[in-house]
A and B are shown apart, each in its own frame.
Chain A
Amino acid sequence: MTTVLDQQTPSTQAGKGRGSSRAARGGGKAAVRFLTGLTPLVLLLVIWQLVGTYASPYFPTPKAWWDGVGALRTAGQLWPAIGYTLRTFIIALVLNTVIGSVLGFLMGGVRLADRSLGPTTEFIRAIPAAALVPVLVLIMGISETTDVAVVVAGTLWPVMISTRSAMRRMNPVLRDVARTLRLSRRDWLVKVAFPALLPSILVGIQVMAPMTLIVTLLVEIVTGTSGVGGLLSSAEQNFMSAQVYGLVCVAGLIALVINVCVHLIEHYTSRHLR
């Protein structure tokens, strides 16, 4: 049993040489905690399966979900939908990163740009993407372009914000370095500014990625036409509740995979950038 003392001053802790093995043991403990923490969820699913009715219109059993999604797979609808969602997600992600970092760079670096564009961007930021979907659909029609446009409008901001604040916090010495070494504008951007800003851009992407996925699904649900969201929408309208639950699990899995990828990217890049 750990006592209060084990958390106290460094002088009461074990010597430095034992640090790495303790870290490994800490990782193992965290894994165990993760698994035990899943117990309520697992229990819930098991009880639901045992107690619920397969064909219930409100609470179909987990097996029914599996079959519902299976039916979509056999009908050849599942994978194209997942593909569409991922495609929209990735395009929006790339656009967000590019536009967001350029905007953030501008607003962080040029005080005039910041003060003039600031209120307008604040205003646009306050409008939830969901509310924009119907009107943009009316103006631009239903297409992948509209979907991407809405997602970008709604989720551009985290990267812009983190780039902007990184620019403003950037070590002023770096700019002087550029001048002393007579670096060309292009060289300074590519060799000094970009690497210095990269960690913050990555942080922004980490925050933005789940948001982008959410808004992508949201747009698909509202327009009801394509992607996983579209499948969800039509399943709901046709009262196919097992399919609805199953598709929600699919969406959750996609979200999980994206989260893991983002974490891995952050893990690998941060090691080299510190």
Chain B
Amino acid sequence: MTAVSTGLAPAALRQHARKVNPLGLLTGVVLLAVWQLLVAVKALNLKYLPTPWQIITSYGELFTGTPFPGALGHTVSVTLIGWAVASAAAIVVALLLGLSRIAWNWSMSSMELLRALPAITMLPIAVVIFGLSSTMELVLVMYVSFWPVLIGTARGIRSVDPLLRDVGDTLRLGRLAVIRKIVLPAAAPLCVVGLRISLTLALVLAVVAEIVANPAGIGYQIAFEQQALRPDLMFACIFVVGLLGIVLNALLVLAVRLTMPGVSRTLEDAA
């Protein structure tokens, strides 16, 4: 039993240190300290600029004294439900388009054009049709989640090597088996890329809809605190949104790795 095998050797330590990046953390802390200092000595004197310390201490109030926990739940559920439903629909549509050259030729440029329309401009239309409600927010989230998954999955299906269809033929696989065992797994990496993009967009659009139109969720909390002139609470909410994006994305990657380890491998190999 040597020190190396117990992972305490200097080389192993250095490897761990590289992953944790203390220098980066230090820089972040230093920048925060500078911010704090500049405000404290009034060098940076904007009326509503809070200090990092004020932001940190406001978290207690955020979670106990405001409806934030419920708001958080609302935003997360609208994001996830809208994203999941839209993604499932997009995968099905992409399958139909990808497997039929006729369908593809007669619809693809329409899709590309609609996709090029900035999703944010759909918000006023959603408000016009559904009013200032959670339905509006859900529909908007579904609209914005649909396109990246559609494009990603369709591209993935088209990217399947024609040789693999010959492989399916020579191994006597039926049409359904070819789709299930070859086309879908081969399309999966690009589909997952689309899923990650749309998850990020779903969260952002949910928050925007809440800021501007639907009085519920984290976005509404931010707008409320703006009216209440509490920038410290606003920043606190904002950082939670950022963290939420990271966590949701990480959970998605984890879910892919757990349910489809083979596909996860091809994703990593390609990276």
Partner of B204, one of A40, A117, A128, A139: A128
- B114 proximity list for chain A (CB < 8 A): 41
Would you list which residues of chain B between 92 and 109 have a CB under 8 Å from chain A? 105-109
Measured in the bound complex, the distance between the Cα atoms of B210 and A131 in whole Å is 10
Query: Do A135 and B21 touch across chains, with their CB atoms under 8 A apart?
Result: no
Query: Do A34 and B109 touch across chains, with their CB atoms under 8 A apart?
Result: yes
- A58 proximity list for chain B (CB < 8 A): 128-129
A16 at interface, CB cutoff 8 A: no
Q: Given contacts A251-B118, A255-B118, are A39 and B237 in contact (CB under 8 A)?
A: no
Query: Do B117 and A251 touch across chains, with their CB atoms under 8 A apart?
Result: yes
A248 at interface, CB cutoff 8 A: yes
For this complex, into which size category does the number of interface residues on chain A fall?
35 or more
Q: Given contacts A36-B105, A248-B124, are A123 and B242 in contact (CB under 8 A)?
A: yes
Measured in the bound complex, the distance between the Cα atoms of B212 and A200 in whole Å is 36
Query: Do A139 and B48 touch across chains, with their CB atoms under 8 A apart?
Result: yes
Query: Do A134 and B245 touch across chains, with their CB atoms under 8 A apart?
Result: no
- B26 proximity list for chain A (CB < 8 A): 116
Shortest CB-to-CB span from B182 to chain A, Å, is 16
- A244 proximity list for chain B (CB < 8 A): 124-125, 128
Name B112's closest neighbour in chain A (CB-CB): A37
Query: Do A139 and B46 touch across chains, with their CB atoms under 8 A apart?
Result: yes
Partner of B123, one of A132, A221, A259: A221
A67 at interface, CB cutoff 8 A: no
Shortest CB-to-CB span from B239 to chain A, Å, is 7
Query: Do A256 and B235 touch across chains, with their CB atoms under 8 A apart?
Result: no
Shortest CB-to-CB span from B18 to chain A, Å, is 9
Name B233's closest neighbour in chain A (CB-CB): A135
Shortest CB-to-CB span from B36 to chain A, Å, is 15
Query: Do A126 and B234 touch across chains, with their CB atoms under 8 A apart?
Result: no
Q: How many residues of B contact A (CB 8 A)?
A: 59
Q: Which of A94-102, A179-187, A233-241 contacts B (4 or more CB under 8 A)?
A: A233-241
B226 at interface, CB cutoff 8 A: yes
Query: Do A133 and B211 touch across chains, with their CB atoms under 8 A apart?
Result: yes
> What sequence of 0s and 1s flags, for each residue 15-43 of chain A, a beta carbon within 8 Å of any chain B beta carbon?
00000000000000000011111111100
Query: Do B27 and A120 touch across chains, with their CB atoms under 8 A apart?
Result: yes
B164 at interface, CB cutoff 8 A: no
- A252 proximity list for chain B (CB < 8 A): 113, 116-118, 121
A232 at interface, CB cutoff 8 A: yes
Measured in the bound complex, the distance between the Cα atoms of B162 and A244 in whole Å is 46
Query: Do B222 and A131 touch across chains, with their CB atoms under 8 A apart?
Result: yes
Partner of B241, one of A35, A119, A128, A214: A128
Query: Do A120 and B234 touch across chains, with their CB atoms under 8 A apart?
Result: no
- B203 proximity list for chain A (CB < 8 A): 128
Most buried by B among A38, A134, A245, A252: A134
Shortest CB-to-CB span from A214 to chain B, Å, is 4
A57 at interface, CB cutoff 8 A: yes
| 8 pairs of residues in contact across A and B, judged by CB atoms under 8 Å | A116-B27, A119-B28, A140-B46, A221-B124, A232-B124, A244-B124, A251-B118, A256-B116
User: Which 7 interchain pairs have the tightest Cβ spacing?
Assistant: A37-B109, A119-B24, A127-B242, A116-B27, A236-B124, A41-B110, A126-B242
A116-B23, A126-B245 known; 5 new pairs, CB 8 Å cut-off, are A37-B109, A57-B128, A58-B128, A217-B121, A255-B116
